[in-house]
Amino acid sequence: MKLGIIGLGLIGGTIAKSLNSKHIVSAYDISKDTLTYALENKIIHQAYDNISNFLKDNDVIYLCLYPEMIIDFFKSNKSIIKNDTLFIEISGIKTNLIEKLEKLEKLEIKNFDIVFTHPIAGRELVGVKNSDKNIFFNGNYAIIENKKNKQNNIDLTYKLAKEMGFKNISIISAQLHDELLAYTSQLTHIISLSLVNSYKENVNLSHFTGDSYRDLTRIANINIDLWMDLFVNNKDFLLSKITDFQNHIEQFKSAISCNDKVKLAELMNQAKNLHNKFLEESRNES
């Protein structure tokens, strides 16, 4: 099968590395250096700097662009997309993106399919040079329910996700995806950034940290353009999750402030039990 990748960054590069032994993989990217590097390192079989030729030659295309760029991509290129092309989209937010694309669709009849998916995996690094098959191995993948998709395209997307090494592949609604990811992904990044920003002493911090601080701040080395896009385009769910989290922080603060050990023990027990349930679920899956 001829697979194309648009946008050969960390995730696009990881898709290429995960599938290039079973399929002919080509890529389109605006950076010539990226394409040269990917060819030289045998990450892809073929490189394109012309989008028309790329779209003509590929039947299944992973769309590895930030959400807002995806809209621009279809605005610019919808007239040159050939019939029956399957796009597999991979960004971290869905409801807003699908809504915006549906508005676009009304403008013109199209004869291609977009399956919205999310490899729930990443690194605090960018670019094809940091791509790595292990990022996907045994990971989670979400495919968004969408009645417009052809069943064989859903099936192919699922099969390719298995080939990339994903362990748990869930088919869920765009809404539920965005609500869950607002919690597991966008909120965690807001927390990490806020933790880093609240440091104010003038002391070499690295002498007074253990694993907990290092773990909680790893993701503060953030890809600003990507996360700006995700935060803004999942605003409603994210604001609601931030509020829930603030309420729980406030419960701890109030219990500590009142020396209320009973309440503190209750809150810690609740977290310990929920976390053990999560670990148990994770273990049962692997």
Subset of 203-222 contacting a copy of itself (CB under 8 A): 203-213, 215-222
| CB distance 62 to 5 below 8 Å | yes
Asked if residue 1 binds a copy of itself (CB under 8 A), the reply is: no
Distance CA 124, CA 130 (A): 10
Q: How far is the CB of 46 from a copy of itself (least distance, A)?
A: 30
Question: Which 111-150 residues touch a copy of itself, going by CB under 8 A?
Answer: 120-123, 139-140, 142
CB 4, CB 28: distance < 8 Å: yes
Confirm or reject binding of residue 281 to a copy of itself (CB under 8 A): yes
**Minimum distance from CB of 255 to a copy of itself (Å)?**
9
20 is a contact residue toward a copy of itself (CB under 8 A): no
- Token pair 């073929």 in the structure block, residue: 46
Q: Which residues of 38-49 are buried (b: 16+ CB within 10 A; e: fewer)?
A: beeeebbbbbbe
Stretch 79-108 residues interacting with a copy of itself (CB under 8 A): none
201 binds a copy of itself (CB under 8 A): yes
Q: Which member of 134, 152, 173, 184 binds a copy of itself (CB under 8 A)? A: 184
3-state secondary structure of 199: coil
Q: Does residue 37 belong to the site contacting a copy of itself (CB under 8 A)?
A: no
Coil vs helix vs strand at 32? helix
Per CB under 8 A, does 52 bind a copy of itself? no
Give the nearer residue to a copy of itself in terms of CB position, either 21 or 259.
259
Give which of 52, 167, 70, 82 is closest to 121, Cα–Cα. 167
Of residues 231-250, those binding a copy of itself (CB under 8 A) = 231-232, 235, 238-239, 241-250
Identify which of residues 60 and 142 has a Cβ nearer to a copy of itself in the complex: 142
Compute φ and ψ for 6, nearest 5 degrees. -105, 115
Provide the minimum distance between the beta carbon of 14 and a copy of itself in the complex, in angstroms, as a whole number: 13
DSSP symbols for 216-279: HHGGGS--HHHHHHHHHHTHHHHHHHHHHHHHHHHHHHHHHHTT-HHHHHHHHHHHHHHHHHHH
- Interface residue with a copy of itself, options 50, 83, 151, 198 (CB under 8 A): 198
Among 32, 59, 72, 199, binds a copy of itself (CB under 8 A): 199
Residue 271 found at the interface with a copy of itself (CB under 8 A): yes
Asked if 96 contacts 233 with a C-beta cutoff of 8 angstroms, the reply is yes
Candidates 39-47, 50-58, 77-85, 178-186 — which segment interacts with a copy of itself by CB under 8 A? Answer: 178-186
187 touching a copy of itself, by CB under 8 A:
yes
Q: What angle do CA 170, 171, 172 make, to 5 degrees?
A: 110
Q: Are strands 113-120 and 140-144 parallel, antiparallel or unpaired?
A: antiparallel
The answer to the question of residue 202 lying near a copy of itself (CB under 8 A) is: no
Sites for a copy of itself among residues 149-168 (CB under 8 A): 168
Nearer to a copy of itself, 70 or 187 (CB): 187
